[in-house]
Structure 1
Amino acid sequence: MHSGTSRLPEAVSAIESAALRSDRFRLEREADWQRLEAIVTRMEKGRLRRLPDEDLLALPGLYRTVASSLSIARETSLDAATLAYLEALVQRAWFVVSGPRSSLWDWLRGFLGGGWSAAVRGIWPDILIAFAVMVAGTAVGWLLVAQDVNWYHALVGGDMAGGRVPGAAPEVLRRTLFGESERGGMSLFATQLFSNNSQVSILAFALGFAFGIPSLLLLVHNMAMLGAMLWLYHGAGLLVDFAGWLAVHGTTELFAIMLAGAAGLHIGRALAFPGDRPVLQATAEAGRRAALVMTGVVLMLVVAALLEGFARQLVDQTFGRFVIGGFMLALWCAYFFAFRGNRRQVGPA
């Protein structure tokens, strides 16, 4: 009992000493804390223009001072209230000093205002390769089916083909392109085609890490299916009508597939041929650029879905469909290859 009683004054003395040390620590630095808090509060409220120049110049130094105070407070086990205050203040100040500078709207404006088109132009060699591969894939599909009709079922598949099979009467195939009675069935086919192309776009990009080879093979396979269907409608004398039906959303959708394949190939080329840069640096730069392109590909697929769901349904003439498809193709080409804008806010060049 005597021993416990004798230790009580020592414990009280230790508590008083810790409190005195905490008060002294706070008094010596509180002016800087309060000044930083006032600056941060005004900036959080959007009053940056009213902030004096001397406060803006002092902001980085004040932030470092308060961060140092927090570090000392943690090491010396100061009172919990001081620690909580400093942690909250440092966190708020970090967002002001080092946090994101732009809002979502600012990012979107920079993305559509030139960042996306600059990223696309940055992978133009890969776009040319992807375009050539897609053309070759279409030709391969056509030639395979022309030599052996059994290739049609292997390339298109039963779920995708439906009634669009070799031997179908021209009038049956025509009703899949025009008229109200069969439009629901063709809408289902278009939905399946859109779903397939969306998956191809994502996979073509995702498989780019394998030196881009799987991306190119995927493009060949997907376009071979299109080549087989072009052969089918050509045999029925409906090639132009089918091309018009496809053009409404296809010029956007196939463009998106081409960009996705090119983005995957861009990463693969950076892995295989990094040039004078280290492999990791080359791949990281290519990955950032390709990711920016793919963000736009998602947007293009959404636009293609809207065109498929509305424009193609409302326009029941081949010429009108070509007009819509041609306009969209011209719009994308003009945006990507003629429009420069301001690309400083997003992504690498």
Structure 2
Amino acid sequence: MREAAFVKQNKDKWLEFERELGTKTTIPPKKISELYLEVTDDLSYAQTFYPGSNTAIYLNDLAAQAHQKIYTNKKEPGNFLWKFYAEDFPKMFYRFQKQLLLSFIIFAVFVTVGAFSASSDASFVRAILGDAYVNMTLENIEKNDPMAVYKQMGELDMFLGITINNIRVALTAFTLGILAGLGTAFVLMQNAIMLGSFQYFFYQNGMLWESARTIWIHGTIEISVIIIAGCAGLVVGKSILFPQTFTRLTSFVKGVKNGLKIVISTIPFFIVAGFLEGFVTRLTWMPDWLAIVIIGLSLLSILFYYVYYPIYLNKKENLNAKQLHSV
């Protein structure tokens, strides 16, 4: 069956389902379960014959809303925040893997641009990082303590300051998504160019490994979560540019809600990154193997929660839906 015919055949049912989900009254669990089975069946068909199409995306969104409604109707006991982080958010975030990849690509490209520019123009690093920082770091290198900057503030003050600043950057990347995603791309570009020129500066002074094994103790999570916040902004931008079957306003509201959930998901990671920068990064005497373990665990935690776990939950939910439908 052609996609257009499939849509025409089922459109009225989907719209009715969408209206049911939009009502403020509580829908009987039996009725919403029946509707959920129908829409997941259509979703399975669309994913098989029209993978990646607007129809498949629309049905996936409907199925997610239905699951949330069922979840609410069950009124299961337990901690709301735990459910958000352990189940609700990862299931939702599965739909935004492409935006996450795009955010990563934008960041990686401009890290390269920053490093290349620093290698081509001796004044570029000073223009990006500032004369005061460059001069201070050169003095620290001469004193054989290149990472002394992380020891200047008290642990708690640095932890709080860094955490608040990182959350501010994340909120900025998310908020500027209203500029059709261009504002988000600009925030990613700024931070990426700074990182690229920063790392090249240490490479130029023969301190690449010393800087990397120290900075990435906190930077692995910090940079990863800035990229994820960029994903949130791109979700908002996409909702404006490509509303799909929704009105532009409805699509925008959905995009803002989803983007905000993504930003909220990053807060615990920013707290961890702030703790590492305030209390651990300053321990420059720690052995290389320990720094590598911290960096490795940080990277694995990010990849697990934002890549593997959403895919795992989505596959599990689809399998359960098919099994339930076949009964």
**CA distance in 1: counterparts of 2:110 and 2:288, whole angstroms:** 25
Q: Does 1:112 align with 2:82?
A: no
Which of 142, 150, 172 does residue 123 from structure 2 map onto?
150
1:1-349 pair list within 5 angstroms: 106-158=79-131, 160-161=133-134, 163-165=136-138, 170-172=141-143, 174-177=144-147, 184-185=151-152, 196-314=165-283, 316-340=286-310
Cα deviation for residue 152 of structure 1 reads 1.2
Is 2:162–2:274's contact at 8 Å kept on the other side of the alignment? Answer: no
Q: Which letter maps to 1:220?
A: M
The alpha-carbon distance between structure 1 residues 259 and 304, as it changes in their structure 2 partners (threshold 3 A), is same
Q: Which amino acid aligns with 1:184?
A: K
**Could you say which residue in structure 2 is the equivalent of 1:87?**
none
The TM-score normalised by the length of structure 1 is 0.61
Instruction: Please give the per-residue CA displacement for 1:26-53, whole angstroms capped at 9, x wherever unaligned.
Output: xxxxxxxxxxxxxxxxxxxxxxxxxxxx
**How far 1:162 moved relative to its partner?**
5.6
CA–CA separation in structure 1 for the residues paired with 2:300 and 2:201: 28
- The separation in 1 between residues aligned to 2:150 and 2:240, in whole angstroms, is 46
Question: Aligned in 2, Cα 1:318/1:257: closer, same or farther, shift over 3 Å?
Answer: same
Matched to 1:293, the amino acid is I
Q: How many angstroms apart in 2 are the aligned matches of 1:133 and 1:139?
A: 10
Q: Give the aligned residue type for 1:204.
A: A
**Percent identity of the aligned residues?**
22
Cα separation, 2, equivalents of 1:241 and 1:118: 39
Is the Cα–Cα contact under 8 Å of residues 251 and 325 in structure 1 kept in the other structure? yes
Q: Is the 8 A contact 2:150 2:277 kept in 1?
A: no
Alpha-carbon distance between aligned partners in 2 of 1:342 and 1:108, rounded to the nearest angstrom: 18
Contact 1:208/1:215 (8 A) holds in 2:
yes
Residue deviations 1:55-103 (CA, integer Å, cap 9, x gap): xx9xxxxxxxxxxxxxxxxxxxxxxxxxxxxxxxxxxxxxxxx99x578
Relative distance call for 1:289 and 1:310 in structure 2 (3 A) is same
Rounded to whole Å, the distance in 1 between the matches of 2:191 and 2:83 is 33
CA contact (8 A) 1:169 1:236 kept: no
Q: Which runs of 5+ in 2 are unaligned?
A: 1-27, 29-71, 315-327
- Distance in 2, matches of 1:193 and 1:232, equals 22
CA contact (8 A) 1:244 1:321 kept: yes
Q: How far apart are 1:284 and its partner, in Å?
A: 2.0
Does the aligned pair in 1 maintain the 2:104–2:227 contact within 8 Å? yes
SS in 1 for 2:309: coil
Q: Deviations over 1:218-262 (max 9, x none)?
A: 111111111111111101222122111122111111111011111
1:41 aligned partner: none
Query: What's the offset of the Cα at 1:310?
Result: 2.5
Q: Which runs of 5+ in 1 are unaligned?
A: 1-56, 58-97, 344-349
Q: Who is 2:318 aligned against?
A: none
Task: Report the Cα distance in structure 2 between the residues aligned to 1:279 and 1:108, rounded to whole angstroms.
Answer: 30
Could you say if the C-alpha distance between residues 117 and 326 of structure 1 is closer, same or farther in structure 2, counting changes exceeding 3 Å? same
State whether residues 160 and 193 of structure 1, in contact with CA within 8 Å, keep that contact through their aligned partners in structure 2: no
Between the aligned partners of 2:250 and 2:76, the Cα distance in structure 1 is 26
> Retained in 2: the 8 A contact 1:142–1:228?
yes
Return the alpha-carbon distance in structure 2 between the equivalents of residues 304 and 123 of structure 1: 23
CA 1:278/1:139 → structure 2, altered by over 3 Å: closer, same or farther? same
Instruction: Note if contact 1:139-1:224 (Cα within 8 Å) is conserved in structure 2.
Output: yes
Q: Could you say what the CA RMSD is over the residues aligned between the two structures, in angstroms?
A: 3.1
- In the alignment, the residues of structure 2 paired with residue 322 and residue 171 of structure 1 have an alpha-carbon distance, to the nearest angstrom, of 25
The residue type equivalent to 1:326 in the other structure is G
Letter in 2 for 1:230: Q
Higher Cα radius of gyration: 1
Matched AA of 1:228 = S
Tell me which amino acid in the other structure corresponds to 1:278.
T
C-alpha contact (below 8 Å) 1:118/1:336 kept by paired residues: no
Q: CA deviation at 1:314?
A: 4.4
Aligned length: 240
Task: State the shift of 1:122 in Å.
Answer: 2.2
Contact 2:176/2:184, CA 8 A, preserved across alignment: yes
